[in-house]
A = this chain, B = another copy of it.
Amino acid sequence: MVLVSDENIATSQAIAGELKESILAGKYKPGARLVQDELAEEFRASRSPIREALRMLEADGLVTIKSHSGAWITELDFAEFEELYQIRERVEPLMLRLSIPHLTTKLIKELEVILEKLNTATTVEQFLKYDREFHLLTYEGAITSYLGEIVQRMWNTTQPYRRRYSQILEREHFTSAHLEHTLLMNAIKRADLDDAERILFGHIRRTRLELQDQTEKEG
């Protein structure tokens, strides 16, 4: 990502960035409360920038604020998780379509490296990491103002749940994912927009349906 936009980052932004990293890394669990005073002490700042940072994270969907009450790490029930996946099915293929024509050969090589790591991943944690990197990198070419935000936000909020749910999945799932990722990679290299869209749609949809099945089995 070529970011030149903001030269002078306010501390509220810096705090928001660090907190975001922590949340995505799983330091805070969904539903965990964030107390302004504690955060202020942790970041050696007053509550003002903390409050602003929390608002920014709320916009990212990572934090939920309730007035006069507090801030919590956003928690999704399964219905909400499913909804986000349905949105992803519709939106990410578009993002991919807008991206592919602008992917450089350098970026495509990078994608192949990550795909290799993804296909040889042995732990769930590795799989999650490279899966995220791979997909988000395929969108790198898209020059967008809003779509990118929406997509990132969905990946952010579903992150802890992807971790949780992927432990349920059968081994079969990962081999399907493997095949789909390879097909996707080929479509990208051919710059076949329609095919790439179709594969990605199917990929996300299949994952959603499998999760649905598995969680129903559990009750």
Contacts and interface: CB of A to CB of B under 8 A. Distances in A.
Contact of A147 (B59, B87, B147): B87
Contact of A67 (B10, B68, B146): B10
Given A90-B91, A146-B87, A150-B150, A10 B80 contact: no
A53 to B, nearest CB: 10
A91 B80 contact: no
B94 A87 contact: yes
Contacts of A6: 66-67
A160 to B, nearest CB: 16
Contacts of A154: 146
Contacts of A55: 52, 55-56, 59
A9 interface: yes
Given A8-B67, A51-B52, A56-B55, A83 B144 contact: yes
Interface in A130-150: 144-147, 150
Interface size class of A (residues with CB under 8 A): 20 to 34
- Stoichiometry (number of copies): 2
A180 interface: no
Contacts of A144: 83
Contact of A61 (B9, B61, B84, B146): B146
Given A6-B67, A67-B10, A68-B10, A90 B83 contact: no
**Which 8 pairs from chain A and chain B are nearest by CB?**
A59-B59, A55-B55, A90-B90, A10-B67, A80-B145, A90-B94, A8-B68, A90-B91
Given A52-B55, A87-B147, A146-B154, 6 more contacts: A8-B68, A55-B56, A83-B146, A84-B146, A87-B94, A90-B91
